[in-house]
Amino acid sequence: MALLIRNGEIVNVGARLQADIFVENETIARIGNNLEAPPNTEIVDATGKLVFPGFIDPHVHIYLPFMATFAKDTHETGSIAALMGGTTTYIEMCCPNRIDDALEGYNLWKSKADGKSACDYAFHMSVTKFVKETESQLRQIVADGTASFKIFLAYKNFFGVDDAEMYQTLELAKRLGVIVTAHCENAELVARLQQKLLAESKTGPEWHEPSRPESVEAEGTGRFATFLENTGATGYVVHLSCEKALQAALGAKSRGVKISIESVLPHFMLDKSYAERPGVEGMKHVMSPPLRAKHNQVVLWDALAHGSIDTVGTDHCPFDTEQKLLGKDSFVNIPNGIPGIEDRVNLLYTYGVKRGRLDLDRFVDAASTRAAKLFGLFPRKGTIAVGSDADLIVYDTNYRGALSAKSQHTNNDYNGFEGMEIEGRPSVVTVRGKIQIRDGKFVGERGRGKLLKREPSHFE
């Protein structure tokens, strides 16, 4: 059925206009004033509302075997949670570990999503070792439409790669025109510091941050950048958390290194005092890189406002209270991760745009357009334009509410942002022209989501 979104204020990066949007065959067919609608067209009145391009979360974990357990969401639950919060596309980290076969892992991750997701999705393919079959396997994966890789410099002996493997991955990525995303922490230093702290009987969640201090992340970020510089590959730092790491990345960028930066929702909204809360309350806020000293939040918001930080993801990674308690005797066993897929857009809008830290342009860019451009989805996604997929968010800026585990859709028994107030939420969310969300309710089609095929684009 055709769809007409009438009289909203369309917000694209660099352009705003009051207009109607007519959607046919899953894409935007016309934008203009007083558009005629054929009989049987579904009409949404967007008067007084903003209309955004569907938001893109460039960093989520849905299926994730990790730290002796599995993240809680499935694509059914994770995609509905994403849509509730205005995210119409997510990019999941496909994460086979070092002992798994990469191609088998890729097919397994695809099978977990196939026919299950209510929103569109893609993968970053993790390279967790580099052996003789790796190049041909990665070529097959890229030919299948997955045009971004992921490496972990942390998580020694599990996901982590050494410098030789990082070099080989970047060198291949350069030849294939593929962007490489990287978790930047020095694995050896983390392992040594963890052992030192445990030997001193420092076992609680408050010791997670001291085991992975800012300098350890800055070293990883700087080393990744140096490897990019010497291979000519294009890179993207995921979940950058602090000023020291930001300086390392921006220093490299100013020398001409092709590096982009993502920070994630928890690092803007929460500081390390959350992980210092006693017992399981602290454990709920353990992620890597850790929540940092508060002064870093000001630095991150400022860098985001100026575009030095390119994108905001979530690193959505739900482990429930029982799973977090796996680390009750030692912080090194607390499953790392904080969920956020449902809350990213509303928190960024409220604490960014409404609090005057972020203009609307940068908000749309950081939460949608920039990720679409970096990861080969633009202009299909990330903009409201004729010919683009009709992923549209009719946003109600008059909505007032508060976040709570009780009302969330992600499969978890806590919300890391519990009680935070929001000033705005999507009233209508469409995926390729079909209304999936209306005023906080899923009204759409489960399994509508498609795997997005992407072409390599980083040949420069």
**194 in contact with ligand URP (CB under 6 A):** no
Contact (Cβ atoms closer than 8 angstroms) between residue 95 and residue 134: no
Residue 336 contact partner, candidates Zn ion, ligand URP, none, CB within 5 to 8 A by sort of partner: ligand URP
**315 in contact with Zn ion (CB under 5 A):** yes
Pick 344 or 425: Cβ nearer Zn ion: 344
**7 in contact with ligand URP (CB under 6 A):** no
**183 in contact with Zn ion (CB under 5 A):** yes
Stretch that binds Zn ion, among 102-110, 183-191, 205-213, 247-255 (CB under 5 A): 183-191
Residue 218 contact partner, candidates ligand URP, Zn ion, none, CB within 5 to 8 A by sort of partner: none
**337 in contact with ligand URP (CB under 6 A):** yes
* Choice from 62, 246, 317, 431 touching ligand URP (CB under 6 A): 317
* Residue 255, both tokens: 């020398």
**316 in contact with Zn ion (CB under 5 A):** no
Query: Distances from the Cα of 97 to the Cαs of 6, 143, 286, 333, in angstroms?
Result: 48, 22, 21, 17
* Choice from 89, 288, 368, 427 touching ligand URP (CB under 6 A): 288
Give the residue nearest to ligand URP (CB).
336
Pick 89 or 288: Cβ nearer ligand URP: 288
* Choice from 73, 92, 243, 315 touching ligand URP (CB under 6 A): 315
Contact (Cβ atoms closer than 8 angstroms) between residue 247 and residue 296: no
Nearest distance, CB of residue 272 and Zn ion, angstroms: 17
**61 in contact with ligand URP (CB under 6 A):** yes
Tell me how far apart the alpha carbons of residues 402 and 412 are, in angstroms, rounded to a whole number.
17
Pick 342 or 396: Cβ nearer ligand URP: 342
**287 in contact with ligand URP (CB under 6 A):** yes
Classify residue 355 by burial, with Cβ atoms within 10 Å: 0-12, 13-18, 19+. Answer: exposed
Residues that bind ligand URP (CB under 6 A): 61, 183, 287-288, 315, 317, 336-337
User: By the criterion CB under 5 A, which residues form the site for Zn ion?
Assistant: 183, 315
